[in-house]
Amino acid sequence: MPRASKKQTKDPNAPKRPLSAFFLFSLDERPAIKAGNNSLSVGDISKQIGEKWRKVNEDVKKGYEKRAAEAKKNYEKELEAYKKKQASSGGVSSGGTSASAPSKSRPRKKAPPKAPESDEDDMDGDDDD
């Protein structure tokens, strides 16, 4: 299935996104949840984490957010290295200058921001009182 999210996306130098505070939180809580339960699957645990995440104090969240912020910084650094590699990417095989460069444009889907629903807006210039 086309969800390439298992280990490494493609390139070993591909900078992975910085984990969000929630993820860092999960890294710490997941084993805790497992400890409370014999062995749940990620799906089940994730739900527990999500609920706990909302219940943790903002101070705790802030703590993780801070870590995430640093992780982001590191991510930028990796990105630079990744960029550099792209620039001087030595021909891996047959000296293709533009051989390795999976990042072109993210073919994301574009959904309409609003549904064509026009219902109540103003009935008529009815302004009575």
Partner DNA sequence: GAACTGATTGTTAGG
Partner DNA sequence: CCTAACAATCAGTTC
| 81 in contact with DNA (CB under 7 A) | no
Q: Which stretch binds DNA (CB under 7 A): 72-80, 86-94, 119-127?
A: 72-80
Q: Can you tell me the distance from the alpha carbon of 33 to that of 39, in angstroms, rounded to the nearest whole number? A: 9
Identify whether the C-beta of residue 49 lies closer than 8 Å to the C-beta of residue 77.
no
For DNA, the binding residue among 92, 108, 116, 118 (CB under 7 A) is 108
**Sequence-separated (6 or more) residues with CB below 8 Å from residue 30:** 45, 49
| 87 in contact with DNA (CB under 7 A) | no
Q: Can you tell me the distance from the alpha carbon of 121 to that of 69, in angstroms, rounded to the nearest whole number? A: 43
Residues 6-25 that bind DNA (CB under 7 A): 6-7, 9, 14, 16-23
For DNA, the binding residue among 3, 57, 87, 118 (CB under 7 A) is 3
Identify whether the C-beta of residue 101 lies closer than 8 Å to the C-beta of residue 89.
yes
For DNA, the binding residue among 12, 35, 41, 122 (CB under 7 A) is 41
For DNA, the binding residue among 32, 60, 75, 85 (CB under 7 A) is 75
**Sequence-separated (6 or more) residues with CB below 8 Å from residue 118:** none
Identify whether the C-beta of residue 85 lies closer than 8 Å to the C-beta of residue 102.
no
The site for DNA (CB under 7 A) is made up of 1-7, 9, 14, 16-23, 26-27, 30-31, 34, 39-43, 45-47, 49-50, 53-54, 65, 68, 72, 75-76, 79, 105-106, 108-111, 113
